[in-house]
Amino acid sequence: MALFEQGYCFIAGLDEAGRGCLAGPVVAAAVMLPLEKGAETLSELLRGVNDSKQLSEATRESLYDRIMQEALAVGVGIGSVELIERYNILQATKRAMQVALDQLSPAPQALLLDALTLPNLTLPQRSLIKGDARSLSIASASIIAKVTRDRLMRELHQEYPEYGFDRHKGYGTEAHIAAIKQYGATPHHRKTFSPIREMLYGLFADFE
């Protein structure tokens, strides 16, 4: 609440999901909470909100609905595989965050981010290490981003059931890598990422 105490009323927390995946987009979310309700009230309204990676899928889905109900504004941006391949994952993440910010109304006056800063912005930014464990708005954004991305990957599973996207969500599990070896890479795989890059050159021996 430090920024709120400095006079900023509209503070957006941002986070992403899917930066380390081998397939699918990176998804960013921006969440502004009604800070005038006070820290204790918000903590009670959003009880259980934490780093999305620490929560079960069912818990995230439940908290997603609660955040959407209680938040002042929510924005979501998607960095496609094409964007990731063209620029790199970090730049695709930042572009997705900018898209998420552009959807917020009212416009934010300050930003809280998890170990990132965004370029070409004049509004104050605070980059927090492990921000999703230190800021309720960042933690809320992490849940919105993760649930949104998981839903996209479950949809992708309907098109490519042999890859198991509904289970691993595009992360580099043994089962996922085995499926890539057997069936090849789809248009939704990040072909500049290792080990897919090496697989495309036929270097399977290192991954046996």
Q: Any bridge partners for residue 12, and if so which?
A: 32, 111
Q: What are the contacts of 164-168 at 24+ separation with CB within 8 A?
A: 165/23, 165/24
Give the CA distances from residue 2 to residues 39, 41, 75, 89, 142, in Å, rounded to whole numbers and listed in that order: 11, 16, 23, 31, 20
166 appears as a binding residue in the annotation: no
The answer to whether the beta carbons of residues 186 and 196 sit under 8 Å apart is no
15 appears as a binding residue in the annotation: yes
Among 113, 109, 155, residue whose Cα is nearest residue 134: 113
Q: Which amino acid is at 194?
A: S
57 appears as a binding residue in the annotation: no
Contacts of 199 by beta carbon, 8 Å cutoff, 6+ apart = 180, 181, 185, 207
Q: Which residue numbers belong to the known binding site for a divalent metal cation?
A: 15-16, 114
Q: Which residue numbers belong to the known binding site?
A: 15-16, 114
